[in-house]
Structure 1
Amino acid sequence: MPLPEYGGVLGQKRAAHLLRRATFGATVSQINAFAALTPAQAVTQLFRQTLPDPLPPPDPQSGNQTWCIPGPANEDREDGDLQEYVKGWIIGQMMSTGIAANLSLAYSAREKVVHFLHTHFTAIQSKIANSRAMYFQNQLFRRFALDALNPDPKINIKALSVKISVDNAMLRLLDGNLNVKGSPNENYARELLELYTIGRGLEGTLPPPTGPGDYIMFTETDVQAAAKVLSGWELDDEFETPDIDTTIPRGKVRGSITNASGHDNAPKQFSARFNNTVIQGSATLMNGSNATEASALDEIRQLIDMIYAKPETAKNICWKIYRFFAYAPHTPADSLAIDTNIITEMANTLVANNYKIQPVIENLLRSQHFYEAGAGNVKDDNFGGIIKSPIDLVLGSLRIFDLKLPDLMTATTDFYMATAEIIGTIDNLGMRFYEPYDVAGYEAYHQYPIYHRSWITPNYLARRYDFVRSLVMSSQQQGMFTVNVYNFIRANFTDAVASNARTLIITLSGYFLPVTDNLTFDDATDDTSSLTAKRLNYFKERFLQQFDEAYWTTRWNEGAIDLRDQLEFLFNAMLQSPEYQLS
C-alpha cells in the first residue's frame, strides 16, 4: 500500500523543504505560495501540469538553427563546441528559462526527474563524444520523466530500460556497439544488472558470496548470457533510426532489419538466480533461422521482463529514488529500518502502477515520512539530511535570488556564456557535469556508505564558500551572476521584518536553511533542536559589526546609504554556514 500521507497545510518550513528536493529551487514568493497548500495540492501543482516540450538547442554560429535533428551531420562544425551547447541547454531547462511564471516550478520539477534519470542511467561526455547522442538521450529521459501523465502503458521505467539498451549514447558509453556474435562485450550487460536494474542488494546487509562470480542478486553466468541477448547493435551516426514508440533516434542492428547478422541467435541460459530462464528469438519474428531487428529487440524485452520479475529490481530502483529525493542512510541498521518500512511500500507502489515512477515519487513527496510527521520506529532525518549537490547549491542559490539566464533565442551567445559559467562553477565544486569519474556515475548517488557526503572535502567546502562570497559580496562579485542583497530584502520583506535585526535573521533562516524550529538568541532557552542560539548570535554579530540592534533599526528606517554592506555581511555568514550546504 502507498506510504501514509501528511494531510496538513505545509507551512513555510515544509514548503521550502519540498521545493528544495523536488525542484532546482524556488523564490521567496513561490515558497510563500506553497506554504498555504497541503502536500497533495503542492504535488499536483508540481507534477500534474501540462508542460511544453523544449525547443532544441540553437547554434549561434548557424543563425540559431538547431543541429539536433536526424540526418547527416555538418562535417565543418566542431562537435566539441556543440556538446557544450547541449550541456548549457540542459542547464537552461533546469532553470525553466523562457517558461511562464505559473509553470516555472512544475517545469523545474519535471527537469529534476530528468536529472534523476541521468544520474541513474549514466552518461560520460568524453566517451559518448557526440552532441546529438547526448541531446536525444536527454529527450528520451524527458519523455519518460512524468510517465503517469502518459496513458500509454509502454511509458514506464521498465520500458525505458529496454530503450536505453539501444540508445546511441549508451551504446557509445558501454561499448554496446562492440558487442557482436562470436565476440561478446559484457560491459553494458554487467552495468545493466549491477547499476540500472536489479543491483547488488542492500549494501552493508548482504550475505557473503557463495563463490567466484556470485554477485548475490546475479552471477557471472547471467552477465555472459545477457551480453549475448544484447549483441548485434551499432551506432546510427546519422540518427535516422527512430524508436517506434517515442520517435526519438536510437541505434540500429548490424546487418539489416531482416537479417540482424551481428546478433547471437542461440538460446541464452541464465542461472538459478533467474530461475534458469532461457531467452531465445521468437520464431514468429525471425526470418527463418536469421535474427531480425524485431526478434533482437524482443529478446531485450524478454531480458528486461525477466529482471523486473524479481522483486529486488523494484526495490533497487526505489532505493535510488529515495536516496535522490529523501535521505541516504549510512548504517546497516538505518538501511534495514527504511528498507522494511519505506522501500518495500514504495516498491509495491511501483509494481502496482505498472512500473511508472511518477506515482512513487509523488507518494514519497506527500508522505508523512518525507515531512518527518509519521509515527513509528523509523528514524527521520529528512530535513537537512542531504548535502546539496553542486548543481543544487548553484542553481538553488540563483533561483532563490530570482536570477535568470539570458533568453535562449534572442541572446543566444550570452545564454551559453552564462550556462558555461554555471557549469564551470559546478565542475569547480566537484561535480563534473556529464563527466563522472566512472561508469557507475556520480559517486554521491551510489557509493555506499558515504553517498552525498562525498560532495564535501576541505577543498570543495572552501570553494562552496568562495561561490557564496562571489555571489553576495559586491567587493568580490565577478561574472554574470551577482546579487544586490539590499534590493532582495526590499523586494521580499516588509520594513517591520527588515528593520529588526533578530526578526530578519530568523525570517531569512526559514527560507535559506533547512532546520529552523524553535529559533532563539537566548542560550538559556535554546533546545538545540535546530539552529543553535550560538549560531544565530554569530549571524547577528557578523551582520551588525560594531553597531547595536537599535542603531540598525534607526539606520534602516532612515535609509542609510551603506545598508547593503551590512546585509552582505549577514548573507555571507548565513550562506557560508554548514547548514546552507544541506537540503
Structure 2
Amino acid sequence: MALTPLNETLGRHRAAHLLRRTVFGATQTTINTFASLTPSDAMERLFKDNLESPLPPIDPATGTEWMTTGTTDANSEGFELENYFLRWHLGQFLGGLSTGEDQLAYIFKERLVLFLHTHFTTKKSVVNNSRALYFQNELFRKFAFDSFLPDELNFKALTVKVSLDNAMLRFLDGRFNVKGNPNENYARELLELYSAGRGLEGADKNTQEEGDYGTFTEEDVQAAAKILSGFDFDDSFSEIDPDTGLPTGKIKSNGNQHDNNPKTMSFRLGNTVIAPDPELLVNGEPTRESAIDEIRQLIDVIFAQEETAKHICRKIYRFFGYHEIDDSVQAGIITDLANVFIAADYKIQSVLTAFFTSREFYEGATGVQDDVFGSIIKSPIDLVVGHARAFELTLPNYITNASEFYEITGFMMGKIDDMGLSYYEPYEVAGYSAYHQFPIYHRGWITTTYLTQRYAYMQNVSLGMMDSNPLSTLTPIEYVEKHIDFGLASNAKSLVEEVCKQLLAVSENVSFTNAASELSEERLNYFLNAFLSTFQIDQDPEGAWTTRWTNGVDRETVVRQLQDLFNSVFQSPEYQLM
C-alpha cells in the first residue's frame, strides 16, 4: 500500500480524524470548519510560520520565570520547578496563551514537540534540572516546523544538536565520555533509537556476525563514542548555540578531552573514516568547532543509509497512523515517506504533510472507507487533553494566575500518571513502551488497572461527580445544547447516533436502521438503554424523552439521562480509540 494524494474535501469525520491525531481533538465547531477543507487547505491551517513561542513558566514563589534568568534562594525547590515545567507544558497542549486563528497551529506544534520527546527520550529524575528540560523542550519546538527554517536546519541538524543538548548529556552519560575512557551509552542509543534503528521489527536483519545489528555494528558504537567524546553539562547555561539561540553543552578542557584520532566506521556505514578538519584545529589540537564537525560527519554518514529515513518514518507512522507495519506497509507507505524525507533533505514537516494529505491516512484499501478510524488507542494524554479540548476547558492565564493554572494542570497530570503515563519518567531509555515495544505498542496503555483509572476519570471528572475536581468543562446537557441540533436531540435514537458520531472514532455510517452501520445495533442499543433505563417506569421512555426535551420540562431528569448516556459512551471500549 503506497501513498495516494487525497484531493477532495475532508468531510466531518475525516476532519475529526485529522484533528484528533494532530491537535488532541477539537470542538465540534472546529471540526465542522475543517470539514469543508481539502487536506492541503487543512495543512495550511496547521503549519503556520512565525508562531510565537510560549512564554516560560512562572514560579509562584517569586511571580517570575526562572528559565532564562536562573534561580535564586527565593525560588521554589528544584523538584517543584520540574513539576511546574511539566504542568506548564501540559497547558500548552490546551493552547497556552494562544488565541484566534493561530491556536490550532500552536497546539499542533506542541503535538510535534511531544512526538520529538517520545523519540529523543529524556527522564526528569536523571536530568534533575528544570532548566535543562525546558531548553530541550524549546529545541524541539524550534525544529517542529522545520520547513520554515533555513535549509541546513533539518532533522539531521536536530540530531546533532540533541547530541550536544544539556539534558541529553546528563540523561545518557555523555558528560562522562572522554578521550581514553569512552562512555558508549549515548552512542548506542543514537544509533539504535534515534537514527538508524535495527530495521523492521520481526524481519530478517541480514546480519553477518555477532555484534552486527543489520544497520550498524558494535564497531560503529565504539567509533561513535569516540567521535562524541569531550563534552560536558553546562550548568550555567551560558554556552549558546548560534543556530537556535539556546543553551547547549560545553567542551571539556578546551577540547583536550575529545578523541582527536581518525575513527573508522564498519562496513554497515561504508567503512567511512571520520577525522577532524585540519582547518578547525588549533596547533593540531581539537577545538569545540572541530569536535562538533566530527559529530556532523557522523550524522551525515548515518543518514546516508536509506534505513535511517525508514526508521524515523516508522516512528512517525506509529505515532500518527497505526502501530502494525508489515512487509507491504514497509514497502509502500514507509518507503514512500522515506523517499519524501530524503528528497526534502530530511525536513520532517514534508513527511507529515505528505502523510496527512494522503488517502491512506484517512481510509483503508479499496472499498474500505473507515478502517483507520479508531485504529489507535488513546494515550492518557490524548484521553485527558482530548476530552478537555472537546468539552472546552479554559485554563487561567499562567502568567497572572500561576497557582490556579498549576492546580488544574497538576490535577490532570496526576490522572495521566494514574493511567500509566508518567510524563518525562519513562521506564526505560527507549522511552514510553507504547511507542516502541514490539509487538504490543499502544495496546500497552490498556491494563486492568489503567482501564479502571480511565473509566473513573471520565465518570468522576467529566460528569462533575468529584468534589476535588478543579476542571470546569461543558456538562453533557451543555454540550448537547451547544453542539447538537435541537430537533435531532429530541429523538432518543437520533441523539444516541449523533453523540456516537461526535465522540467516537467512527465513520458517518452509524445508524439503528442500517445493517452496514459501523456500530452494530447491539452496541447502539447498549447506549440507548443506558440513556433510558433509569426511567423505564415511563410506558414509552423514548416518547417521554421527546416530551421532556421538546417542552423544556423536568430538567433535573434530562440532566441525569444525559449524564447516563455520556457516561456509557465515555466508559465504552470505543471511546478509548482515536
Q: TM-score, normalized by length of structure 1? A: 0.95
Does the C-alpha gap of structure 1 residues 542 and 379 become closer, same or farther in structure 2, counting only changes over 3 Å?
closer
- Kindly report which structure 2 residues correspond to 1:69-468, keeping only aligned pairs within 5 A, or say none: 69=68, 77-150=76-149, 152-207=150-205, 209-256=207-254, 260-329=255-324, 334-372=325-363, 375=366, 381-468=371-458
In 2, Cα distance between equivalents of 1:462 and 1:427:
13
Question: Displacement, 1:498?
Answer: 1.7
Is the 1:390–1:426 contact (alpha carbons within 8 Å) kept by the matching residues of 2? yes
Does the C-alpha gap of structure 1 residues 100 and 241 become closer, same or farther in structure 2, counting only changes over 3 Å?
same
In 1, Cα distance between equivalents of 2:209 and 2:69:
48
In 1, Cα distance between equivalents of 2:466 and 2:72:
43
In 1, Cα distance between equivalents of 2:206 and 2:268:
15
Any gaps of 5 or more consecutive residues in structure 1? none
Which range moves more in the overlay, 560-569 or 189-198? 560-569
Secondary structure of residue in 1 paired with 2:61: helix
Question: Displacement, 1:499?
Answer: 1.2
Tell me the equivalent position of 1:510. Answer: 501
In 1, Cα distance between equivalents of 2:372 and 2:179:
49
1:567 corresponds, among 556, 562, 567, to 562
Secondary structure of residue in 2 paired with 1:319: helix
In 2, Cα distance between equivalents of 1:477 and 1:11:
39
Is the 1:471–1:477 contact (alpha carbons within 8 Å) kept by the matching residues of 2? no
Is the 1:117–1:141 contact (alpha carbons within 8 Å) kept by the matching residues of 2? yes
Does the C-alpha gap of structure 1 residues 72 and 512 become closer, same or farther in structure 2, counting only changes over 3 Å?
closer
Partner amino acid, structure 1, of 2:494: T
Question: Displacement, 1:8?
Answer: 1.3
Partner amino acid, structure 2, of 1:570: L
Is the 2:124–2:424 contact (alpha carbons within 8 Å) kept by the matching residues of 1? yes
Secondary structure of residue in 2 paired with 1:266: coil
In 1, Cα distance between equivalents of 2:460 and 2:156:
44
Q: How many residues align?
A: 570
Which range moves more in the overlay, 298-307 or 48-57? 48-57
Question: Displacement, 1:156?
Answer: 1.0
In 1, Cα distance between equivalents of 2:6 and 2:469:
43
Is the 2:93–2:110 contact (alpha carbons within 8 Å) kept by the matching residues of 1? yes
In 1, Cα distance between equivalents of 2:472 and 2:440:
33
Question: CA RMSD, aligned part only?
Answer: 1.9
In 2, Cα distance between equivalents of 1:337 and 1:379:
19
Tell me the equivalent position of 2:511. Answer: 520
1:52-102: per-residue Cα shift (whole Å, max 9, x none)? 21111111111x211101667658641111101111111111110221132
Which range moves more in the overlay, 113-122 or 200-209? 200-209
1:244-289: per-residue Cα shift (whole Å, max 9, x none)? 1111000100012xxx011011111111111111111111101122
Does the C-alpha gap of structure 1 residues 9 and 576 become closer, same or farther in structure 2, counting only changes over 3 Å?
same
Does the C-alpha gap of structure 1 residues 427 and 519 become closer, same or farther in structure 2, counting only changes over 3 Å?
same
In 1, Cα distance between equivalents of 2:269 and 2:221:
12
In 2, Cα distance between equivalents of 1:551 and 1:536:
19
In 2, Cα distance between equivalents of 1:283 and 1:433:
44
Question: Displacement, 1:37?
Answer: 1.1
Does the C-alpha gap of structure 1 residues 511 and 83 become closer, same or farther in structure 2, counting only changes over 3 Å?
same
Any gaps of 5 or more consecutive residues in structure 2? none
Is the 1:17–1:383 contact (alpha carbons within 8 Å) kept by the matching residues of 2? yes
Tell me the equivalent position of 1:60. Answer: 60
Structure 1 runs of 4+ aligned residues shifted over 6 Å read none
In 2, Cα distance between equivalents of 1:470 and 1:446:
32
Does the C-alpha gap of structure 1 residues 242 and 147 become closer, same or farther in structure 2, counting only changes over 3 Å?
same
Secondary structure of residue in 2 paired with 1:516: coil
Partner amino acid, structure 2, of 1:158: K
Secondary structure of residue in 2 paired with 1:360: helix
Is the 2:59–2:76 contact (alpha carbons within 8 Å) kept by the matching residues of 1? no
Is the 1:509–1:516 contact (alpha carbons within 8 Å) kept by the matching residues of 2? no
Secondary structure of residue in 1 paired with 2:319: helix
In 1, Cα distance between equivalents of 2:347 and 2:507:
35
**Residue 543 (str. 1) matches residue 497 (str. 2):** no
**Residue 42 (str. 1) matches residue 18 (str. 2):** no
Secondary structure of residue in 2 paired with 1:472: coil
In 2, Cα distance between equivalents of 1:280 and 1:577:
59
Does the C-alpha gap of structure 1 residues 219 and 73 become closer, same or farther in structure 2, counting only changes over 3 Å?
farther
Is the 1:472–1:568 contact (alpha carbons within 8 Å) kept by the matching residues of 2? no
Does the C-alpha gap of structure 1 residues 72 and 13 become closer, same or farther in structure 2, counting only changes over 3 Å?
closer
1:100-156: per-residue Cα shift (whole Å, max 9, x none)? 132221111111111110110001000010000000000000000000122x01221
Secondary structure of residue in 2 paired with 1:306: helix
Secondary structure of residue in 2 paired with 1:60: coil
Q: TM-score, normalized by length of structure 2? A: 0.95
In 2, Cα distance between equivalents of 1:533 and 1:375:
25
Equivalent pairs: percent with the same residue?
Answer: 48
Tell me the equivalent position of 1:531. Answer: 519
In 1, Cα distance between equivalents of 2:155 and 2:502:
34
Partner amino acid, structure 2, of 1:417: E
